[in-house]
Amino acid sequence: MSNGDLFYVCGGALAVSAVLISFVGLRVKSFPGKAAPVVALWFVLLIGATTSFAVLHAQDEEEAKAAELSAANKEILKEESSPVEAEGEGEKAPAPKPEAATKGPGGTLQLAASPSALAFDTTKLSSKPGKVTIDFDNPSALEHNVAIEQDGKEIAVSETLAEGKTSVSADLASGTYTYLCTVPGHAEAGMEGTLVVK
């Protein structure tokens, strides 16, 4: 039996026991009498079992949903990459780079995905001009990545991964950029922020 089935069985037994004990208690004046410890122990066991199986059932459902979302993300990524390969276009074509000077020290920035929501841990990053690197940590079972864009043009993008770390680098001139997750629907749900280079 699954944890969900056991939760429903224990919960049903608890409800039936409560009704029966209430009924007997109203009919028999001396109840529970000497049976009080047995009755108390019965209810403690039923409540403990029902609570335990409820928690286990909730965890099972959460894992199943995470697996479904991960599978759906992989399917979407396959569908999106298939036409590009069929047309013979390179997947990793060089992105347009800003024309302004990119001289400067640059910097390394830290960014992480939320383990339970479609969000980054911050919506604002800043760096000096030059080679800017975003070290990205994704503790979630859902696949995410991080891309750097300016005016809707992708400059650089990291690999897409779940439960891992990666990074993305680009030579950036002074200006305002957007960093976001390019997995379909994630940026729209809030996985994006502003990168100010100055």
pLDDT tens for 177-188 read 999 999 999 999
Q: Which of 53, 86, 119 is the last residue of a domain?
A: 86
Q: Is there a single domain that holds both residue 115 and residue 189?
A: yes
Report the number of distinct structural domains present in the chain. 2
Residue 109 has pLDDT above 80, yes or no: yes
* Burial (Cβ within 10 Å: 0-12, 13-18, ≥19) of residue 57: middle
Residue 37 lies in a domain: yes
* More confidently predicted of 30 and 136: 136
Together in a domain, 112 and 82: no
Distance CA 57, CA 79 (A): 33
What φ, ψ does residue 85 adopt, rounded to 5°?
-70, -40
Are 131 and 64 part of one and the same domain? no
- Tell me: do 63 and 132 sit in the same domain: no
pLDDT digits (tens, 9 = 90+) for 126-172: 999 999 999 999 999 999 999 999 999 999 999 999 999 999 999 99
With a pLDDT cut of 70, the percent of the chain lying above it is: 89
Phi, psi (deg, nearest 5) at residue 89? -85, 140
Q: Confidence band (pLDDT; 50, 70, 90) for 94?
A: low
DSSP three-state, residue 2: coil
Question: Do 74 and 123 belong together in one domain?
Answer: no
The span from the CA of 100 to the CA of 107, in Å, is: 18
Banded model confidence at residue 33, pLDDT cuts 50, 70, 90: confident
Co-location of 36 and 118 in the same domain = no
- CATH number, domain with residue 173: 2.60.40.420
Any idea of the CA torsion for 34, 40, 43, 47, to the nearest 10 degrees?
Answer: -170
At residue 98, the pLDDT reads: 47
Same domain? For 190 and 122 the reply is yes
Do 79 and 123 lie in one domain? The reply is: no
Q: Which of 57, 86, 115 is the last residue of a domain?
A: 86
Tokens representing 30?
């001396």
Residue labelled with tokens 């995410």: 144
Residue 93 lies in a domain: no
Instruction: Lowest mean pLDDT of 54-58, 153-157, 169-173, 193-197, name the range.
Output: 54-58
Residue 91 included in any domain = no
Is 95 contained in some domain?
no
Query: Residue 96 falls within a domain, yes or no?
Result: no
* Number of residues that this document lists for the chain: 198
191 and 111 together in one domain: yes
DSSP, collapsed to helix, strand or coil, labels residue 72 as helix
Structural domain span for residue 34: 3-86
- Check residue 85 and give its pLDDT: 45
Do 115 and 193 fall within a single domain? Answer: yes
